[in-house]
Amino acid sequence: MRKDRKIDRREALKLMAAGSGLAASSLHAATNKSELKGGAHLSHPASHKYARIVIAGGGTAGIIAAARTRRAAPNAEITLISPNTTHLYQPGALFRAAGLMSQSEMVRETASFFPDNVTWLQEKVTGFDPEHNRIETEKSGKLPYDVLIVALGCAYDYGAIEGMDSSMIGKEGILSIYLNDTVKGTAEGAELSGALFEKMKADVVTASKPLEILFCEPDTPVKGKGSGLSLMLLYLDMLQKKGGDKKVRFTYVTPDEVLLDEKMFNHALGKIVKKYPSVEVLYRHRLTKVDAAAKKATLTSGDQTIEKAYDYIHITPPMQAHRLVRESALAVGDGPQKGW
Ligand SMILES: Cc1cc2nc3c(=O)[nH]c(=O)nc-3n(C[C@H](O)[C@H](O)[C@H](O)COP(=O)(O)OP(=O)(O)OC[C@H]3O[C@@H](n4cnc5c(N)ncnc54)[C@H](O)[C@@H]3O)c2cc1C
C-alpha cells in the first residue's frame, strides 16, 4: 500500500463528520445489525484511501464511530479496542431507580450490534503514545494507527465533594443513579437508589413532617445532563400519589442560571417546576460537602455557604475525562478545559 494513499488529518475529520450523522438515540432504537445498516446514510462521500483507524472504547460513541467509519472508509483497517461484552444502556438508570425498568432491560450483548468487518480486540487500552501514533494495550502490546478515535467515556469524581465517596451510595439517604461500570455493564447506583426510593415511599406515608429531598448537580461537564432533574420530577409525581404535596419538599441545586441550556426545554421545564409548590430551585449553588451522619449538605455559591438538612439527597457526581486521557499527552494541559 502506497503511503500517499493514506488518510490525512483533514480527511479523517471529514470522515468523523460523516460519522456524526447518526444520533445516539438511533443506536439504542436499533435492535439488530440490519436495522442499523438500513437506517444509516452518509452525509459525505466515502473515501477509498487506506488507513489504520483505531477506536478506543466500545460504548455508544465507539460503536457508532466504528459503524459510520466502516461505511465512510471502505478500504480502511478498523480496530476497536474494548473489553465489554455487555452494553449498558445508561439512560435506563433513571427508570431503574424508580422501579420502572429491570437490570436485564438495561443491557444488550455488544456483539448484537457490533459492525461487520471491524476487528474487535476484547481487552483494555492501557495508555496513549500520540507522539509515535501508537496505542498501548493490555494483551496486544503497542499498536500503530493513522487515525485514533478516543471514546472511553468519562470518569466520576465523587471524592471532589468533601465527606463523600461512592461507597456511601445507598446508605444514609444518599442516592446517585450515575454510579455504574461500563466495562462490566452494571448499574450499581440505579439499583441502590431504587432501594432507597422504596424506603422514601414508605417514609412519605408515615412522616409527621415533610421529607426534605435534595437533588444536586456539579459544576463540571456532565453526561446525560438533566437526569437529576428528570429523576426529581419522576419521584415527585410518584410520591405525590402516595402522600400528597405536603409530605415532600424538593430542592434542586444547580450551579447554572437555568434548568437546561437549551432555551425551548428550559422554558418548558420552568413551567412544569412552577406548578409544584413543593419544589424550590437553588440556582448558582453546588454541593461542596456532605455530612452523612448528621444528614447535612453544605451548598456553596461564590464565597457564600449554606447548610441544609436533608432526609434524602441525590448526587450527580462531578465528572472528568477517563484517567488514561487525563494522564496522557492527549489531554488539554492548561486553562479551564485542563485534563479533558
Ligand atoms: C443516568 C444517565 C442518564 C443519561 N441520559 C441520557 C439521555 O437521556 N440522552 C443521552 O443522549 N444520553 C444520556 N446519558 C449519557 C449517555 O449514556 C452517555 O453520554 C453515553 O453512554 C456515552 O457514551 P460513550 O461511548 O462516550 O461512553 P461510555 O458509554 O461510558 O463507554 C465507554 C466505553 O469505554 C470502554 N472502556 C473503559 N475503559 C476502557 C479501557 N481502559 N480500554 C478500553 N475500553 C475501555 C467501556 O467498556 C465502554 O465500552 C445518560 C447517562 C446516564 C449515566
337 assigned to some structural domain: no
Q: Whose CA is nearest to atom 15 of ligand 1?
A: 224
pLDDT band at 31 (very low <50, low <70, confident <90, very high): very low
Atom of ligand 1 nearest to the CA of 153: 27
pLDDT score recorded for residue 34? 33
Q: How many CA atoms lie within 13 A of 102 on its CB side?
A: 3
Are 46 and 174 members of one domain?
A: no
Are 295 and 190 members of one domain?
A: yes
Domain limits at 39?
3-153+322-326
Are 163 and 296 members of one domain?
A: yes
193 assigned to some structural domain: yes
CA distances 175 to 88, 164, 171, 287, 310, Å, are 19, 12, 8, 14, 12
pLDDT over 70 (residue 244): no
Atom of ligand 1 nearest to the CA of 324: 41
Give 286-340 pLDDT, tens digit per residue: 999 999 999 999 999 999 999 999 999 999 999 999 999 999 999 999 998 999 9
Give 39-85 pLDDT, tens digit per residue: 445 556 688 899 999 999 999 999 999 999 999 999 999 999 999 99
Are 135 and 240 members of one domain?
A: no
What is the CA(217)–ligand 1 centre distance, in A?
Answer: 18
Cell numbers of 59, please? 460504548
Ligand 1 mutation target, pool 82, 235, 262, 324, most atoms within 8 A of CB: 82
Identity of the residue numbered 146: D
What is the CA(90)–ligand 1 centre distance, in A?
Answer: 7
pLDDT over 70 (residue 145): yes
Residue 224 per-residue DSSP state: T
pLDDT score recorded for residue 240? 81
Cα angle 45, 51, 57 (rounded to 5 degrees) comes to: 95
The total domain count for the chain is 2
ipTM of this predicted structure:
0.98
Q: Whose CA is nearest to atom 21 of ligand 1?
A: 60
What is the CA(84)–ligand 1 centre distance, in A?
Answer: 12
Could you give the CA distance from residue 53 to residue 72 in angstroms, rounded to a whole number? 12
Could you give the CA distance from residue 106 to residue 92 in angstroms, rounded to a whole number? 6
339 assigned to some structural domain: no
234 assigned to some structural domain: yes
Q: Would you say 250 and 207 are in contact if contact means Cβ atoms under 8 Å apart?
A: no
Are 149 and 182 members of one domain?
A: no
Are 191 and 110 members of one domain?
A: no
Are 206 and 244 members of one domain?
A: yes
Are 13 and 127 members of one domain?
A: yes
Identity of the residue numbered 89: Y
Q: Average pLDDT over the chain, rounded to whole?
A: 89
pLDDT over 90 (residue 30): no
Task: Choose among 216, 230, 232: nearest CA to 315.
Answer: 216
Are 85 and 142 members of one domain?
A: yes
15 assigned to some structural domain: yes
What is the CA(267)–ligand 1 centre distance, in A?
Answer: 28
Helix or strand (DSSP H, E) at 253: strand 248-253
Are 177 and 139 members of one domain?
A: no
pLDDT over 60 (residue 17): no
Are 137 and 161 members of one domain?
A: no
Are 74 and 88 members of one domain?
A: yes
pLDDT score recorded for residue 308? 98
Out of 199-208, 212-221, 234-243, the most confident range is: 212-221
340 assigned to some structural domain: no
Q: Would you say 101 and 84 are in contact if contact means Cβ atoms under 8 Å apart?
A: no
What is the CA(60)–ligand 1 centre distance, in A?
Answer: 6
Pocket of ligand 1, beta carbon within 6 A: 24, 56-62, 81-84, 90-91, 93-94, 124-125, 151-153, 177-178, 182-183, 223-224, 227, 324
Q: Whose CA is nearest to atom 20 of ligand 1?
A: 60
User: For residue 54, what is the domain's CATH number?
Assistant: 3.50.50.100
Ligand 1 mutation target, pool 80, 223, 316, most atoms within 8 A of CB: 223
pLDDT score recorded for residue 162? 98
What is the CA(92)–ligand 1 centre distance, in A?
Answer: 12
